[in-house]
Structure 1
Amino acid sequence: MRSHCTAAGIRLALLGCLLLSASHAAAAEKAEEGKARIRILATGGTIAGTQTRQQDHAYKAGTLDVEQLIAAVPDLKQLAILGGEQVANIGSQDMNDAVWLKLARRINALLATPDVDGIVVTHGTDTMEETAYFLNLVIRSDKPVVLVGAMRPANALGADGPANLYNAVAVATHPGARGRGVLVAINDEIHAARSVIKTNTTNVQAFESPNRGPAGLVHGGRVTWFEPMDKKHTHRSEFSIEKVEKLPRVDILYAHANMSADLLEAAVKNGARGLVIAGVGEGNMTHQSREVLAKAVKQGVAVVRSTRVMSGIVRRTSEVDDDKLGFVASGELNPAKSRVLLQLALTKTKDPAQLQQYFQEY
């Protein structure tokens, strides 16, 4: 009798455990309901870098993989249903057109499915503004795409990567992020890809949008939005990489006092299909350089005047007669972003008037 009671007790206990387990599973499943499904695509950079000694400034970028990045951020999985992929593992100084095309194609493929609600891209800070703007022009969805990086390696004192990644995922899950184009979330600020630039070599407050200001703020996962971007981007963009295997070569040359024109001639000779001038002031350069560039335009090379100055606008036919010389004025775009737009624009046209239209619209 006693053994029978014991067996019955065990069966009841097991049944209770099964019911409790099922109850917990149902509760967990219910907790997951309504969460955004975010894919984190890692490309390396300082956010995934480590240093051997705190006293050293030297470190190696991209030593941590995407799963390690996710695991290092407390409560990150409470924000969203996460998945990770390693697209590249490089310092962003080595970012290149091939990785851009690979990354953009993967993002487009993921966002085309109902299983992904948004993308977060971990990236080095050196060229993050360029990658963000490239994606802003070629992503074919209004779902959120947020880039994030860090100014300090993962094991440095006061590492900023974990908080930045947490906030980036929070931005990607926020309903207000949809339709805003590609964003950069860093140091408690949200920036539009078109506006943001890196303005400091090492400080955590290294990113600004000098002409327009940030697109929003994010602190501890709480998001506040400001005015949306008024230029074309993402699902409204006419640029496509579907049939693009290689982007045209576009070089940037820096204007300065006593600027020589031989580097301009060398760039054209070596196959540049476009030239962007980081001009002085409002996109100006030496008289000799203007003459060489005017000849390049007649040879079918596109020329864009930007500025080495951090803020302001390069207006058409102000100090330089763009109409006469066949140049394009960059407007708000700095030299790095002017290069990105010109690369894509040259896949469609070489006409200076149409190129200028692109710079006004994008």
Structure 2
Amino acid sequence: MRKPKIAIIGTGGTISSLAGHPLEILNYGANGSLECDAVVAMFPVLNELADILPIRFKAVPSFNIYYPEWRDLLRLIRETERDDPDIDGFVVLHGTGSLEETAYFLSLTVETPKPVVVTGAQRPPSALSSDAGLNLANAVRAAGDPACRDMGVLVLMNDELHAPRDVTKVSTLRLDTFRSPDKGPLGFVDGDAITIYRRTVRRRAPADRFDIAGLEALPRVDILYCYAGSDGAAARAFVGAGARGVVSAGFAPGYTGDADAAVLARAVQEDGLVVVQASRGGSGRTFESRRARDSGFIPADDLNPQKARLLLALALTRTSSSEEIAELFRLY
């Protein structure tokens, strides 16, 4: 039986870092980042699971990754598949801080129908009880398993497979930090099998992807975090900076304070700003309240603010119509 052929692309992060002591699980970033092939070499058992093709990309702290890296990553995936059609799937190594955003962006834009599994680690490979090796091995297994075909981009952490649209990092240090509020994982990667229990029904790539070919930058979209006593200063700053969209991380179940809402509603009317009403609550959907409708705000459904920001930015590459963007939020 032929082993699957899996390309592993390294973008840096904890999974590619080394500390000077097995108990150092916090301050290891200053030691630099290993190239992808060096990470793979630390775990020779991977070669029992698949024919591994390690691909160097660039080491970028996850808090600094944005559109230029995402665009280059998409191009690398496309060119790798073109040059080697025998590739069965891809694994992307990533820092956990913005892993959910990279995975969601890929899930909306990637061109390949083959599995793309994004994984990382909470503890560096040098640490006692590091999760790096098993996360990497399980990501390789998932990328090459028929059960994961036609599921688009997946996030693999802590033996669980999650949909990028749903998953978020909920804890700074715990190993089970990645959760999908209200929905749970799509399935599990256990020692004996990969089991899938549900699939996402929302639109995603490659069938319904956003085409970013030739796009040099995403439209500016900012996130306004709502809090008691906010006086509208941040909202005015975002409008003044030329934002084409703003996501309001509002009070649950989805309200923006009066001072901020007044600034944003005026910009909707006068400047064509598109405002999406999300919630800072961590789970649950926002709805089309009378207050939001009167202000011209679009419900984010159950997307968290950072995911709503990405969908809004991509939506603005297609249209500036609030009605059409609201429909995209209902579909995606």
Question: Against the structure 1 CA distance between its residues 88 and 135, is the aligned structure 2 distance closer, same or farther, given a 3 Å change threshold?
Answer: same
Contact 1:111–1:118 (Cα < 8 Å) also in 2: no
* The structure with more radius of gyration: 1
The C-alpha deviation readout for 1:60-102, integer Å capped at 9, x for no partner, is: 1752111111111242112111111121202201112110111
Aligned counterpart, 2:28: 59
**Which residue is equivalent to 2:76?**
106
CA distance in 2, matches of 1:142, 1:178: 8
Which deviates more, 52-61 or 94-103? 52-61
* In 1: Cα distance, 2:19 partner to 2:96 partner: 17
2:262 equivalent to 1:291: yes
Identity %: 40
After TM superposition, where is structure 1 displaced by more than 3 Å over at least 4 residues in a row? 53-56
Aligned-pair distance for 1:320?
Answer: 2.6
In structure 2, stretches of 5+ residues that fail to align are none
Q: Unpaired segments of 5 or more residues in structure 1?
A: 1-32
Residue 220 of structure 1: how far off its partner (Å) = 3.1
Task: Output the CA distance in 2 between the equivalents of 1:238 and 1:139.
Answer: 7
Q: Is the Cα–Cα contact under 8 Å of residues 111 and 143 in structure 1 kept in the other structure?
A: no
Do 2:18 and 2:124's aligned partners in 1 also have CA atoms closer than 8 Å?
yes
Task: Determine the structure 1 residue equivalent to 2:239.
Answer: 268
Q: CA RMSD in A?
A: 1.5
Q: Structure 1 CA distance, aligned partners of 2:21 and 2:144?
A: 36
Deviation at 1:147, TM superposition (A): 0.2
Deviation at residue 290 of structure 1 after TM alignment: 1.1
Rate the CA distance shift 1:55–1:157 in 2: closer, same or farther, 3 A: closer
Q: What amino acid maps onto 1:176 in structure 2?
A: A
2:110 is the counterpart of 1:139: yes
1:151-199 residue CA offsets vs partner (Å, 9 max, x unmatched): 0011111111000000000000011211112100111111011110001
Q: Distance in 2 between matches of 1:306 and 1:284?
A: 8
Which residue of structure 1 lines up, in the alignment, with residue 276 of structure 2?
304
Give the alignment partner of residue 15 of structure 2, picking from 40, 43, 47.
47
Task: Provide the rounded CA distance (Å) in 2 between the counterparts of 1:258 and 1:320.
Answer: 19
1:228 correspondence with 2:196: no
Deviation at 1:315, TM superposition (A): 1.3
Distance 2:126 2:291 in 1: 50
How far off its partner does 1:146 sit? 0.2
- Map 1:85-164 onto structure 2 (within 5 A): 85-112=55-82, 114-164=85-135
Q: Is the 8 A contact 1:36 1:173 kept in 2?
A: yes
Question: How many residues of Structure 1 are paired with residues of Structure 2 in the alignment?
Answer: 328
Aligned AA (2:242): G
1:21 counterpart residue number: none
Deviation at 1:222, TM superposition (A): 2.6
Q: Which residue of 169, 173, 191 maps to 1:198?
A: 169
TM-fit CA distance, 1:108: 2.6
Whether the aligned pair in 1 keeps the contact of 2:23 and 2:127 (CA below 8 Å) is no
In 2, are the aligned partners of 1:73 and 1:163 still within 8 Å (CA)?
A: no
Q: Which residue of structure 1 aligns with residue 217 of structure 2?
A: 246
**Secondary structure in 1 matching 2:291:** coil
Q: Tell me the TM-score normalised to structure 1 length.
A: 0.87
